[in-house]
Amino acid sequence: MSAEAADPGAPLRRRSRPRIDLRRLGRVALRGPVSRDRLPDAISHVAEAHRAHHPDADLTILHRAYVLAESSHRGQMRKSGEPYITHPLAVTLILAELGAETTTLTASLLHDTVEDTDVTLDQVKEQFGDEVCYLVDGVTKLEKVDYGAAAEPETFRKMLVATGNDVRVMSIKLADRLHNMRTLGVMRPEKQARIAKVTRDVLIPLAERLGVQALKTELEDLVFAILHPEEYEETRALIAAATGPDDPLETIADNVTHTLREAGISAEVLIRPRHFVSVHRVRRKRGELRGTDYGRLLVLVGEDADCYAVLGELHTCFTPVISEFKDFIAAPKFNLYQSLHTAVVGPEGAVAEVLIRTHRMHKVAEAGVVALGNPYAQDPAAPPQTEPLDERADPTRPGWLSRLLDWQESATDPDTFWTTLRDDLAQDREITVFRTDGGTLGLPAGASCVDAAYAQYGDLAHTAIGARVNGRLATLSTVLSDGDTVQPLLAQDTASGPSPDWLDHARTPAARIAITGWFSDHPDEAKPDPETADATGPGAQGEPALEREAPGGTAPARSRSGPRPTGVVVDDPNAQVRLAGCCTPVPPDELTGFVVRGGAVTVHRRECPAVAAMQEIGRAPVAARWADGEGRESDTGCRVTLVAESFGRPRLLADLTEAIATADAAIVSATVEPPSEQRVRHTYTLRLPDAAGLPGLMRAMRDVAGVYDVSRAQHPAPTG
């Protein structure tokens, strides 16, 4: 089935100013004979559309670009049988209708000349300047003869890097793909499906992120028609059946118009039909469609304040559906989108969704970055820029694009880049978190402190030991929310590395690539077995430990290069010996051990609850004792986990950590349980220079005001 048949919006466009209908305009521009003497009529359509947005535009450069494109493509034909020049003309018309400025349209006319003709980039640069040359180069594909199977992902990588310097590169690519999708019906079904899937996974998310809704919605419908033809036809039939004189949205629109007129608010009330995919999604969500589900009301006003005035009148004169209210004016989406969303109950209980925006917001909602014009045009009153073209920074570059450009440098393998790109683009919501130095980090929704650490510190985040979120200690796995303040905490020892379980919490490609790369460079750092892992102080009652910065800004780094010397002797002199993190035995504790996977022996205090658990499942104990004159770790002292019970009060945590530091102990990890009846439990895993200092440390902690007990930890360890 030809994707060109998709025209989902037409049946409902009765009273509204229609969404930009790119397909109709493309056909009009190319209608009639295709002989050379008729082709100039097509460029006149481009000029007319361009002048509608830019009345003072100089069309001379467009005419020169058309002459070069037509002459260089002369004799080439598309698979549809049309002269090839019809393609760059259609792409340029799409962009002209969206309001693109002259430089973009010039590059669009020439976008295939370097790729498919004898025209060179040097010729383009000589005749049309640096900017047009940069845009044409940005959308020019890499040759399969040079890159083989990697040609497509590497072409997208090249295009995205170019987009980082000039967002107009991606605007041209999106319009190019839209016209190709319209004419995809001449391709073999398997090729249609392959192109449609790449469009779905990469181009549509990019169109969404750049805010170009006019392109995104049509691309969605064309992909829907190819990949899901049966559901597409069902949706088409539903929309056709809903067309009729008794449209409930018409009645509500009339009531809204009358209400706003009486309130003295100048507004244009339109019915905005849903496109096919939108109708399909509503149907899947609600099951049976209502008469008002095939469209939404669009209210256009002059000023931002008028948007809120309209909202007030609607919520006063109609019954609002409060759960449907969203304010994207005060908090715009990351793709520049601004509108007020609400829903009201009309006559006979019909519920209509309403979008309220200014005319300017509407233009940006439809055309996104294209509506911004040339983001690099200088203020005539400003001093001239002297920086070279390839070093300029786009002041409008969105955060997601900056992140993408950062991580793609680390994804040297084309397959890794291609897979990671699709995964990254599939994350369609973004949050902003604040750094303690006043900066911000843009992260995908669901990102954790691991992601924040790598976003702020890059590879230095390998030494992360925890974080503070909104001033409170938090684990690296903590999921961040929009507006949080986050401070990743790093160890000073740069020899430590990430934990394998960080991959379970990393959402950003930058973090995942960095962590995976570290383990690729350190193949001996295997993921620890749950039974043999050197726990960094599990919290009480099975809570995960918080690895945190010690007083003074330092913390011992975790080492995963093998078990540390323990000063413990077991029956098998060749066995690796690990001190259990659940009870952190120190001299003169009585010991017992258990053989775990890999042949290592984990040594516990005899009273540790894990010992009974091991014996219950049939594990045979291994005799263990402190070596004569030993009982301490050779380089870093002994480890112990202490639980401090206290009454809640301000500065309690600061006073406890100060007492620990005064006793010459280093905090490896810590957890603070939520207060219960004004009582707080703190669990610390500490490293002491010598076990002999343990009693003094515990006394110092008990002396802290509000602390009524300090004891050795007694909580279960994993037994497998």
Dihedral sign for Cα atoms in the order 344, 347, 350, 356: negative
* Count of Cβ atoms closer than 10 Å to residue 261 Cβ: 12
Closest CA to 206 of 395, 368, 95, 446: 368
- 116 has catalytic annotation: yes
CB 594 within 8 A of CB 604: yes
Segments in 287-322 forming alpha helices (H):
304-317
Return all residues near 245 (Cβ < 8 A) that are at least 6 apart: none
Q: How far apart are CA 396 and CA 379, in angstroms?
A: 16
Return all residues near 35 (Cβ < 8 A) that are at least 6 apart: none
Of 115, 534, 607, 673, catalytic: 115
Q: What one-character-per-residue DSSP string does 329-370 give?
A: TTS--TTS---EEEEEE-GGG-EEEEEEEEHHHHHHHHHGGG
Q: Residue 429 is encoded by which pair of tokens? A: 């919501």
Supply the angle between the helices 414-425 and 399-408 in degrees, to the nearest 10. 160
DSSP assignment, residue 582? T
Pairing of β 464-469 and β 440-444? unpaired
What CA–CA distances, in Å, run from 168 to 19, 50, 73, 207, 395? 22, 16, 23, 12, 13
What's the one-letter identity of residue 345? V
CB 425 within 8 A of CB 201: yes
CB 553 within 8 A of CB 540: no
Strand partners, 641: 685
Return all residues near 671 (Cβ < 8 A) that are at least 6 apart: 537, 539, 540, 543, 544, 545, 546, 682, 683
Q: How far apart are CA 175 and CA 182, in angstroms?
A: 11
**H/E run at residue 643:** strand 638-647
- 218 has catalytic annotation: no
CA 571, distance to chain mean position in Å, is 53
Of 7, 82, 116, 645, catalytic: 116
Phi/psi for 15 (5° steps) reads -120, -5
What CA–CA distances, in Å, run from 206 to 80, 154, 158, 201? 27, 16, 15, 9
What's the one-letter identity of residue 360? R
Q: Residue 247 is encoded by which pair of tokens? A: 């449209």
Please tell me the number of Cα atoms within 13 Å of 576 on its side-chain side: 14
Terminal CA-CA length for the chain = 56
What CA–CA distances, in Å, run from 506 to 409, 438, 477, 686? 18, 24, 8, 27
Q: How far apart are CA 343 and CA 52, in angstroms?
A: 34
Dihedral sign for Cα atoms in the order 632, 633, 637, 642: negative
Return all residues near 416 (Cβ < 8 A) that are at least 6 apart: 513
Catalytic residues: 115-116
